[in-house]
A and B are shown apart, each in its own frame.
Chain A
C-alpha cells in the first residue's frame, strides 16, 4: 500500500527538467531566501536613499559585522553537531585583551594574532572534552566556562583599556586588493567552512553525529572525537573573531562585548541550522549576519530607533523557525 504513491512522485519529478528543479531548490532553500532578502533590501533602500547606496555605506553593511559572521561559522558547525556554545562573548573578551596585551608588551604583531587563535582552540578543546568524554550537556559546560572566563577577565584586568598598540597590529583596518580585510576573512571562513562541511569525512561525520548520534556510532563514526573536533573548530573561529574584534579600533576594553553570543547564535539559527542538530550550512549563517546588518542600516535611514533592533532579531528567529517547521510538515505529509 505504501509503495503505490512512490512511482507517481518519481514520474512527476522526472517530468520536470532537472535544471528548473535545481534552480527552484536553490531559491527556496534558506540560503536562497536570505540572499534574495539581502538583495531586495539593498535595491529598495538604494533606490530610496542616495546616501544608502554610497559605496561607503554598502561596504559597511558587509564589513561591520564580519567578525560576527566568522564566529557564526564556528557556531553553525557546533550546532549542526548537536551542541551549543554560550561562552562566545566571554571568550572574545578574554582573547581580544590577550592579543592587545601581547602586542603592547613587545611581541611581534603576528604572534599576537596567532596565540589568541590557538588559545581559542584550546578552550574549545576543554569544552569539547567535558561534553564528549564526561558527558555534561554543552549548555551547562559553556555556561560554566562563560562565568569562569568573564570572572577571570575582571579579576586580572578589572575594566582597564589598552591603548598604544603599534600600527602594524591593526589587522582588521587593513585592506587587500581594495577590499577591507574583515570581508576577506568572512569570505574565506565561509567558503572553507562550507567546502569542509560538505566534502570532508569529518564534516559529514559532524552532520551524522548531530542528526542521530546512535546511528552515527553504529556506522563506525567515533562520535566523541567528532564532537571534540566541532568544539575545537568553534574555538579557533572564535579566536579569529577575537583578533578581528581586537584590531578594528585603536583601543581594546577589558570587558565582555554584551550580547555577542546571542548575535552569533541568532545568525546561525536565522541562517538555517536546526538547533536540534544535523541540518544547516555555514553559508546561511554568513548571509544572515549580513542581512541583520543591512536591516540595522535600513532602520537608521528610515529613522526607526535602533533600540527596536533586538525586537527585529527576535521576530526574525521566530519567522525562520516557523517557516522551517511548516516546511517540514509539508515534507512529512508528502
Chain B
C-alpha cells in the first residue's frame, strides 16, 4: 500500500533493471574478467590452458569447503573448524593406514567418516545446546587440530602407493581428476540450494529463524545436516589434499578456514545470513585463486598475494553496500 504511493510503476521497473544489472554476482564477474585481462598483459604464462587447469587443481579443496560454508553462512552461522577437520582427516588417513595397518581403501573411508562425525559434533552442540556457531567451531578449531597433533605427534606419513595419487595428481579425460569432483559438487550444491525446499529453507532460517520455526521448517534438523555436510566435505577435501601433496602432516589446512570464508563472503553471501548463491561463491573462489596465481607469475613474492585478497574482500563489500544503499533509497 505504502509502496504504490512512493514510486510510480515505471520508476520501480527502472530500479529493478538497474538492481538486476548490478547484482553482486555480475559485479564480481566484471572484476574477475578485468583482473584476468590485466594479469594476462603482465605475463604470457598466465592465460594458458595448462596454467588454468593447474589452478583448478589447486582450487579444489577451497571450492569443496566453500559449498557447505555458503549454506552455513546463509543460515547465519559460520564454521571455522573446516581447516582443522581437514588436518584431522589427513592424520586419521595416514595413521590408520601406516600405524594401525588398515588397507588404504578402508583408511580413506574411516578418515572421511571421522570428518563427518566431527562436523556432526559441531552441529549437535550448536543445535541441542545452543552454543553460538562462532564459539563452537572456534573451540573445535583448536580441539580437532589438537587431536591431529596429538595423534601424529607431529610425525608425517609418506610412501603412499602409486594408485593413491590418481585423484590428486593425474588427469581424467584431460582435466585434473579432482576438478571433476569439484565441478559435480558445485552443480549439485547449486541446484539443491536454489531448487529444493531444503535449500530455500536455509534462506528462511537466515532471515528469521524463529519465523522459519513457526512456519514448520525443521530448523534443527537442517542445521545439524549442514554442519555434518561441512565435516563430510572437509573429509573429501582432506583426502584430495593428501593425494595431491603425497604426504600427511598434522598442520595441513591451517588457516584454510579463512580462505574459505573469504571466498564465500567475496562471492556476495551476507555474513549476517539470509542471502548468497553458489554461483557467487564459485566466482569468489576462482577470483582469489587466479589473483594469487597471476600476481605470483607477475613476480610478486609467494604469500604476499594475500594483500590483494584482503583489499578485494573489503572493497567488494564496500561496493555492494554502496549499491544496496542507493537502490534501497527508493523502497
Q: Which of B125, B305, B317 has the most CB of A within 10 A?
A: B317
**Interfacial residues of chain B within 273-331, with CB under 8 A of chain A in the complex:** 300-311, 313-314, 317-318, 321
The answer to whether A308 and B146 touch across the interface, beta carbons within 8 angstroms, is yes
The answer to whether A307 and B149 touch across the interface, beta carbons within 8 angstroms, is yes
Of A150, A155, A275, A310, the residue contacting B142 (CB under 8 A) is A310
The answer to whether B150 and A307 touch across the interface, beta carbons within 8 angstroms, is yes
Residues on B lying within 8 angstroms of A by beta carbon are: 78, 125, 129-132, 134-136, 138-147, 149-150, 152-154, 250, 254, 258, 261-262, 265, 271-272, 300-311, 313-314, 317-318, 321
Query: A146 contacts the other chain (Cβ, under 8 Å)?
Result: yes
List residues of chain B with CB within 8 A of the CB of A147.
Answer: 258, 262, 306-307, 309-310, 313
Shortest A59–chain B CB gap in Å is 27
The answer to whether A317 and B142 touch across the interface, beta carbons within 8 angstroms, is yes
The answer to whether B317 and A140 touch across the interface, beta carbons within 8 angstroms, is yes
Of A140, A152, A315, the residue contacting B314 (CB under 8 A) is A140
List residues of chain A with CB within 8 A of the CB of B78.
Answer: 139
Count A-side interface residues using an 8 Å CB cutoff: 44
List residues of chain B with CB within 8 A of the CB of A310.
Answer: 142-143, 145-146, 149-150
The answer to whether B153 and A305 touch across the interface, beta carbons within 8 angstroms, is yes
Query: A192 contacts the other chain (Cβ, under 8 Å)?
Result: no
The answer to whether A140 and B139 touch across the interface, beta carbons within 8 angstroms, is no
Query: A266 contacts the other chain (Cβ, under 8 Å)?
Result: yes
Could you pull out 19 A-B pairs where Cβ atoms are within 8 angstroms? Answer: A84-B134, A139-B78, A141-B314, A144-B309, A144-B313, A145-B310, A147-B307, A148-B307, A154-B303, A305-B150, A305-B153, A308-B150, A310-B145, A310-B150, A314-B146, A317-B139, A318-B125, A318-B143, A321-B131
The answer to whether A311 and B147 touch across the interface, beta carbons within 8 angstroms, is yes
Q: Which residue of B lies closest to A310 (CB)?
A: B146
Q: Which residue of A lies closest to B300 (CB)?
A: A155
The answer to whether B313 and A269 touch across the interface, beta carbons within 8 angstroms, is no
**Interfacial residues of chain A within 304-334, with CB under 8 A of chain B in the complex:** 305, 307-315, 317-318, 321-322, 325
* A-B contacts besides A139-B134, A148-B311, 20 pairs, CB < 8 Å: A84-B134, A136-B314, A136-B321, A140-B313, A143-B262, A147-B309, A147-B313, A151-B305, A305-B150, A307-B154, A308-B146, A308-B150, A309-B146, A310-B146, A310-B150, A313-B142, A314-B139, A314-B144, A315-B139, A317-B139
| Contact A311 to B142, CB < 8 A, known contacts A148-B310, A150-B303 | yes
Q: Which residue of A lies closest to B305 (CB)?
A: A151
Q: Which residue of A lies closest to B318 (CB)?
A: A134
List residues of chain B with CB within 8 A of the CB of A318.
Answer: 125, 131, 136, 139-140, 143
Of B141, B147, B261, the residue contacting A262 (CB under 8 A) is B141
The answer to whether B272 and A137 touch across the interface, beta carbons within 8 angstroms, is yes
Q: Mark A128-162, 1 if CB is under 8 A from B, else 0.
A: 00100011110111011111101110110010000
Of A135, A145, A309, the residue contacting B321 (CB under 8 A) is A135
**Interfacial residues of chain A within 248-275, with CB under 8 A of chain B in the complex:** 258, 262, 265-266, 269, 275
Q: Which of A134, A305, A311, A313 has the most CB of B within 10 A?
A: A311
List residues of chain B with CB within 8 A of the CB of A134.
Answer: 318, 321
**Interfacial residues of chain A within 169-208, with CB under 8 A of chain B in the complex:** none
